[in-house]
Chains A and B, each alone.
Chain A
Amino acid sequence: MSDETPTLVASDTAIIQHVSKVFPSGGGQVKAVDDISFTVPRGKLVVLRGPSGCGKSTLLNLLGALDKPDSGTIMADGVDVGRLKGGQEVDYRRRKVGFVFQMFNLMPGLSAMENVTLPMELAGGTNHMRHRAQTLLTQVGLAEDRWIRRPFKLSGGEQQRVAIARALANDCPLVLADEPTANLDSKTGALIVTLLRDLARENRTVLIATHDDSIARQADVVMEMRDGRLVGRVGD
């Protein structure tokens, strides 16, 4: 890991510097992320675009403290993510990042409402959790009669709306979305992208990993990835 700690300027949510991540593969090694450096401006919709296996998801996982970089520095909202340990890591996941997954990854035993309150419960919870969950579910456009349904009784689009509401539950400044429209039809996917776009307008930073050009067209910043490396950047 680099000894040089980058300075985060006020206009940036995150800065990634010389980050690498290697995975073992068939007796050898694959560089999923290869010495990448970039900044993520605050309050923007940033798209990481590239083909499958280019390292987009890995980069998102590193930013979300779901995995650790082999080298380099990741600073997010004032936190050195790569150096987090134990409770610090848990706290970072609770308060700094919200994740939206391609497969939605809702808790199957819980209702839509409970899935949204879950991160709040894990973060300590308040008496207003239910009210906030209702607000968020309304915000993402999930019909009220769906709130008590469990995920398997919701459509893919509805599940992704719940997943977005869950990502926002703890009012995290950084939302990471990994292929959020990959399992949705184009119309529903467009609605989801609009939702994410709106989140960025609320001064939240949204980082989306996708190979969907339609999403890239709505982004403030688009970064192109190939074979674990950043090969281009469009936007400020």
Chain B
Amino acid sequence: MRTIRRAGKALIRSPLRGALLVGVLGVSIGLALIMITVNAAFAERLDDIKASVGTDITVRPAGTFGGGGFSIQIGPGGTDGGGITETPDQTEGGDDTSQPTITDDDLNSLTSIPHVSSITRQITAQYSGESLKGAEIDPPPNAPQGAQAFSPPILVTGTDDPSKLTGIGEQDTTLSSGRTFTSDDAGKNVAVVGQAVADANDLQVGDTFTLEDPDGNSVSIEVIGIYTTGTTFGDNAFALPIDTAREIFDRGNEVDQATVRADDVDNVEQVADDVKAALGEDKADVTTAQSIFASISAPLSDAKNSSEIGMYAALVASAVIILFSVGLVARQRIREIGILKAIGASGWNVVSQFSFETAAVAVVAAVIGAAATFPLAQTVADNLVSDSGSAGPQIAGPGGDVIRGPGPGEGAFFIGGPAAAADEASGLLGDVNVAVSADVFAYAIAIAIGLALLATVVPAWYVGRVRPAEVLRHE
């Protein structure tokens, strides 16, 4: 207690020196705290993004692209003038005879991979038969004069995910009437229909419509639900239970896209590697939403890295400043050290006094630094993000293709997959709100204590080597 009192008096004795020390140290501690706070905010936002990415791993036949290759087209102009037309996948190359396929057997082999919680399957096709009309899309305002409205093929998804609307491919799908599939619907002729298809064919829940199968037979399908995505493309589609779709489109046990779900977000990459190894890279493209989000969140990651570097730089600067300052003070007060030792102070007595002095300076500086963190941390975070993320996010798709996430007002053309992920990620990137919490003060105190402990090295070193006679000799 007496040592603390002496330390306090020594500080008061030279208020200017103390104030300068506090000021310089406060700036560097403040900078470190700002960087710690900003870094934590970035880390939290990245964790949010990571959590929202989920644990899905997408598996597609190697070389296919987007949310699933359109393997089969049913409609006029086909081989039998009204049945199905096999079309090449929308892949580079386009030769579907060499296109690898994934089957149920392949997927069954994945169930033994550790941390796999479930596997859902999906096939996709286009339907342009006469029995079901698709939406008519007006030409865009900037289209050449004379351009006419057109009807794109109806997209058909077969899925075995019984409960989730996202199982039919759209991230922002909402059920406007009826219901989605249940496990009881497996193999039944039921469909969840997009709003555009429902409108074009005047369909309601409970109505039926007819599809032509590859043999030209008519298959009656009951509408059990109608969904909307908010876009005409997204609504120009319908979904069937996968077994029903396979039968209608004669797809055997093929799978256009499978979703392997890991049991934990931390296991996603490991499971993805295991899936790749099990299927072989020549057979399947395996993508995780995480890797896509990594691309999207790159600006945020860059900002986080910058703040981390800044944090370490500021901490090192604080350490250097405190060592240099205390060293300077100890040197200035070497005579005082000599006197103290001459009248009976032990090395410990002197070191502890200097340590208390330094600790007091460091704590005051830390409080000032912490106070400065509140108004400045958000500004620093905003600047770091805007510096790192001035270019829009680009996502490398399988095979190195670059696709762009949808901008405002644009529809997500690709069903599910990276585009939908990009959509979600773009929303997440947004602003990073820096919450300056009580933790900042805890960090400040921790830094102050750390610096104070570090600073004891200097007086300890000085005190150890000072012989009182040497410093008192030159009176």
Residues of A with Cβ closer than 8 Å to B? 57-58, 61, 64, 66-67, 87, 90, 93-95, 99, 101-103, 105, 107-110, 114, 118-119, 121-123, 125, 166, 170
Contact = CB atoms under 8 A, between A and B. Distances in A.
Contact of B336 (A64, A87, A101, A107): A107
Interface in B327-359: 335-336, 339-346, 349
B184 interface: no
Given A57-B473, A67-B469, A121-B2, A109 B13 contact: yes
Contacts of B2: 121, 125
A212 B27 CA distance: 55
B164 interface: no
Pick the most buried of A87, A102, A109: most chain B CB atoms within 10 A of its CB: A109
27 contacts: A58-B469, A61-B468, A61-B469, A61-B472, A66-B341, A66-B468, A66-B469, A67-B468, A67-B469, A90-B345, A93-B343, A94-B344, A99-B343, A101-B339, A102-B475, A103-B475, A105-B335, A105-B339, A105-B342, A107-B340, A109-B6, A109-B9, A109-B12, A109-B13, A110-B6, A110-B9, A166-B343
Interface residues of B, number: 24
Contacts of A170: 344
B10 interface: yes
A128 to B, nearest CB: 15
Interface of B: 2, 6, 9-10, 12-13, 335-336, 339-346, 349, 467-470, 472-473, 475
Given A67-B468, A99-B343, A119-B344, 5 more contacts: A66-B468, A90-B346, A107-B336, A122-B346, A122-B349
B344 A107 contact: no
A65 B345 CA distance: 13
Contacts of A58: 469
B475 A108 contact: no
A93 B12 contact: no
A116 to B, nearest CB: 11
Contact of A66 (B6, B9, B472): B472
A67 B475 CA distance: 16
A114 B349 CA distance: 16
Nearest to B467: A67
A121 B349 CA distance: 10
B471 to A, nearest CB: 10
Contacts of A123: 344
B472 A101 contact: yes
B200 to A, nearest CB: 91
A193 B468 CA distance: 25
Contacts of A122: 340, 343-346, 349
Nearest to A91: B344
Pick the most buried of A110, A114, A122: most chain B CB atoms within 10 A of its CB: A122
Contacts of A125: 2
Given A90-B345, A102-B475, A107 B469 contact: no
Nearest to B339: A105
A87 B6 CA distance: 22
A146 to B, nearest CB: 18
A233 to B, nearest CB: 24
Pick the most buried of A103, A108, A123, A166: most chain B CB atoms within 10 A of its CB: A108
B334 to A, nearest CB: 13
